[in-house]
Chains A and B, each alone.
Chain A
Amino acid sequence: MPATTEAGVFDESGLLAKARDGDAAAFSELVNRYSRKIYRLAKHITQNDTDAEDVLQETFMKSFEHLGDFQGQSKFYTWIVRIAVNESLMKLRKRKSDRTVPLDEPLDTGEDTVVREIAVWDENPEQQYSREEMAKILDEAVESLKPAFRTVFVLRDIEELSTEETAQTLGISVPAVKSRLLRARLQLRERLTRFFRRKGDDVFAYL
């Protein structure tokens, strides 16, 4: 169990400095702090447990190796997210020959932002489902998105990177991030509506 250091939870510069000097405990603490999020990110993008585990290990090994290059203008987390995204995209590209859709497929500009399901949601959909059920619904909805939309959504709305950080990380323009994010959000909204719609509004409920 890693001991939580006295060095404050919010200020990482101390931990980072120690890790740079080769302090194993300090770096292990950073790993413990972010491993769950990096694993989730890798799973969301690669959609494969083995690939996600590879990405997880590669991300922390590479970040340790290149810790000296990390300048500290961005947050440590943003920096390792970038490594994890690159590793995940490499995994996706390797699988390009199978059913995976390439990331650089041409995307039209919003013509198919179709909205079919328009229904009011329950006030607290979280209360209708157990934690596990909820996680499953949300994960499956993300998995249903095309990789190009999925990666943008995961970075912007799950990992909470800014539009600019997302664009930089993926090597795409800011307008491309925005248009993919819009479509990802609308498609997820559509899918989740099937689960979270207010039951009283279901026309069949009256039959």
Chain B
Amino acid sequence: MTSLLTCKEFLQELTDYLDSTVDAELRLKLERHINECPNCFVILDTTQKTIKVYKGMQPQEIPNEVHVRLMKAVERKMAAVKTAAGKPSV
């Protein structure tokens, strides 16, 4: 219980730790490891920042011509489905 995790063991649990899905006992062990191991502290910190920087990334605008073709394709599909269903929209 009191043994310190190795760096490899720490890395194996990193994703669960970052996603907060580890139990309290393991969390404590992982946190003890970070306190003792500056390298793993940096890895944890920069992995957290990696995730953050991707989550903050806004999708870019679709090129206009791609958007126009998309809307045309969707309109064609809507017209086709309506015809197949044979009922006028209410």
- Could you tell me if B55 and A158 are in contact, using CB atoms closer than 8 angstroms? yes
CB 8 Å contact bits of A35-74 with B (1 = contact, 0 = none): 1110110000000000001001100110011000000000
Give the dominant DSSP class at B's interface: helix
- Could you tell me if A121 and B45 are in contact, using CB atoms closer than 8 angstroms? yes
- Could you tell me if B70 and A35 are in contact, using CB atoms closer than 8 angstroms? yes
- Could you tell me if A120 and B53 are in contact, using CB atoms closer than 8 angstroms? no
- Could you tell me if A22 and B85 are in contact, using CB atoms closer than 8 angstroms? yes
- Could you tell me if B16 and A178 are in contact, using CB atoms closer than 8 angstroms? yes
Q: Which residues of B contact A40 (CB under 8 A)?
A: 59-60
- Could you tell me if B53 and A36 are in contact, using CB atoms closer than 8 angstroms? no
Q: Which residues of A contact B14 (CB under 8 A)?
A: 182, 185-186
Query: Taking CB as reference atom, which chain A residue is nearest B38?
Result: A118
- Could you tell me if B46 and A21 are in contact, using CB atoms closer than 8 angstroms? no
- Could you tell me if B55 and A21 are in contact, using CB atoms closer than 8 angstroms? no
Candidates A23, A39, A61, A113; contact of B73 at CB < 8 Å: A61
- Could you tell me if A65 and B62 are in contact, using CB atoms closer than 8 angstroms? no
The smallest beta-carbon distance between A140 and chain B, in angstroms, is 13
- Could you tell me if A22 and B69 are in contact, using CB atoms closer than 8 angstroms? no
Q: Which residues of B contact A196 (CB under 8 A)?
A: 46, 49
Candidates B21, B49, B66; contact of A121 at CB < 8 Å: B49
Interface residues of B in 39-90 (CB under 8 A from A): 39, 42-43, 45-47, 49-51, 53-57, 59-62, 66-67, 69-71, 73-75, 77-78, 81-82, 85, 87, 89-90
Whether a CB of chain A sits under 8 angstroms from the CB of B34 is no
- Could you tell me if A115 and B75 are in contact, using CB atoms closer than 8 angstroms? no
Whether a CB of chain B sits under 8 angstroms from the CB of A144 is no
Q: Which residues of A contact B77 (CB under 8 A)?
A: 60-61, 64-65
Candidates A36, A57, A120; contact of B45 at CB < 8 Å: A120
Q: CA A140 – CA B70 in complex, angstroms?
A: 26
Give 6 closest A-B pairs by Cβ, nearest first. A22-B89, A36-B59, A182-B15, A61-B77, A40-B59, A57-B73
